[in-house]
Amino acid sequence: AISVAVMGFGTTAAVAETVGFSQIGSESGWRAAETTITRQQAEKRGIDLRFSDAQQRQENQIAALRSFVAQGVDAILLAPVVSTGWDNILMEARDAEIPVVLLDRRIDAPDDLYMTAVGADSVHEGEVAGGWLVDEVGDRQCNVVELQGTTGSSVAIERKQGFENAIADHPNISIIRSQTGDFTRSGGKEVMESFLQAENGGRNICALFSHNDDMAVGAIQAIKEAGLNPGEDILTVSIDGVPDYFRAMANGDANATVELTPNMAGPAFDALQAWWQDGTLPPKFIQTPSTLYTQADDPEGEYQRRKDLGY
Ligand code: GYE
């Protein structure tokens, strides 16, 4: 903390660090949980958090960052909606000597433009999801439909890549349709309805790979409305580990998910506080774990545990 002399008394008092957080929006349950936990983490550490919701728009994020720079914040957390187009605004932050920590998505920019990035290895997440399906279907022929995340986001690009890596040596598994549902529940439902319609009411589809749980939850609804059994007629595997998806697994409507912690702020604040304390620089990437959960892993208990954490 910065120490300031209290006038007339010659004593000093700690002033809270100010951190600006440019959040993407509230497209998913995971995103909402990340926002909640970031606020909790800031409060716990006595950090003054300035929160800005970009409503999915990069231009709003750039404006928020510019305003954080003008306010002279001590650091910036940025969850970048898409991966490109950040160089100029990050140079402005660097010129102002304000460290920027990326949360949960990555950017295509020289790595001296940010201090560190906290998140999962998203290629690995896709590989874990695809690996589950490979094991599950064995030699059976399996047509997969894919719900992609937000177009141009690092996580959508990388999760797709990882899943494709995992099925590459398994010609019995192929992706027959792939489209974005923008990481939202309504997007997932709508796109799944069109997949079902195009694929003989869903009878040509063996499995759904969704880039997040919210889209999968929407898709599960669409599968039910089409008169099929999600979790049996159409297997589902996705990423995040949100409570509603654990509920769906507990009910037999969903099969597997790769958990992503919504606590990205904890490691980010740890890194910033170490830097403020004694100038310790964090590694460029702080990787969070990617754990697979299936119906065999006490989904009802996992649901409850997440609810208790404030999801
Ligand atoms: O998986 C999804 C969210 O960027 C890792 O964005 C994040 C993703 C998360 O909307 O639910």
Output phi, psi for 145, to 5 deg: -105, 145
Mean pLDDT of the region 93-103:
98
Reply yes or no on whether the pLDDT at 17 is more than 90. Answer: yes
Mean pLDDT of the region 122-136:
98
Would you state the structure tokens that stand for residue 275, as one six-digit string?
């830097």
Mean pLDDT of the region 33-40:
97
pLDDT, tens digit, 9 for 90 and up, residues 53-85: 999 999 999 999 999 999 999 999 999 999 999
pLDDT at 308: 87
Calculate the alpha carbon distances from 95 to 79, 86, 99, 113, 114 in Å. Answer: 20, 14, 10, 10, 12
| 158 touches ligand 1 (CB under 6 Å) | no
**If you write DSSP's letter for every residue of 104-172 in order, what string do you get?**
SS--SS-GGGSSEEEE--HHHHHHHHHHHHHHHHTTS-EEEEEEE-STT-HHHHHHHHHHHHHHTT-TT
Mean pLDDT of the region 93-104:
98
pLDDT at 250: 98
| 245 touches ligand 1 (CB under 6 Å) | no
Mean pLDDT of the region 98-119:
98
pLDDT at 7: 44
Reply yes or no on whether the pLDDT at 144 is more than 60. Answer: yes
**If you write DSSP's letter for every residue of 74-93 in order, what string do you get?**
SEEEE--SSSSS-HHHHHHH
Indicate the average pLDDT of the chain: 95
Reply yes or no on whether the pLDDT at 13 is more than 70. Answer: no
Q: Which of 36, 155, 213, 214 to mutate to test the pocket of ligand 1 (most atoms within 8 A of CB)?
A: 155
Reply yes or no on whether the pLDDT at 9 is more than 90. Answer: no
pLDDT, tens digit, 9 for 90 and up, residues 256-284: 999 999 999 999 999 999 999 999 999 99
pLDDT at 171: 98
pLDDT band at 1 (very low <50, low <70, confident <90, very high): very low
Calculate the alpha carbon distances from 3 to 15, 34, 272, 273 in Å. Answer: 7, 31, 17, 15
| 210 touches ligand 1 (CB under 6 Å) | no
Reply yes or no on whether the pLDDT at 8 is more than 50. Answer: no
Distance from residue 293's CA to the centre of ligand 1 (Å): 17
CB–CB of 133/142 below 8 Å?
yes
| 260 touches ligand 1 (CB under 6 Å) | yes
pLDDT at 193: 98
pTM as predicted: 0.94
With a pLDDT cut of 90, the percent of the chain lying above it is: 93
| Positive/negative CA dihedral, 119, 220, 57, 263 | negative
Distance from residue 73's CA to the centre of ligand 1 (Å): 26
pLDDT band at 310 (very low <50, low <70, confident <90, very high): confident
pLDDT band at 3 (very low <50, low <70, confident <90, very high): very low
**Atom of ligand 1 at shortest range from CA of 240:** 1
Reply yes or no on whether the pLDDT at 231 is more than 80. Answer: yes
Gap between the Cα atoms of 103 and 49, Å rounded:
15
pLDDT, tens digit, 9 for 90 and up, residues 147-188: 999 999 999 999 999 999 999 999 999 999 999 999 999 999
Q: Which of 23, 81, 240 to mutate to test the pocket of ligand 1 (most atoms within 8 A of CB)?
A: 240
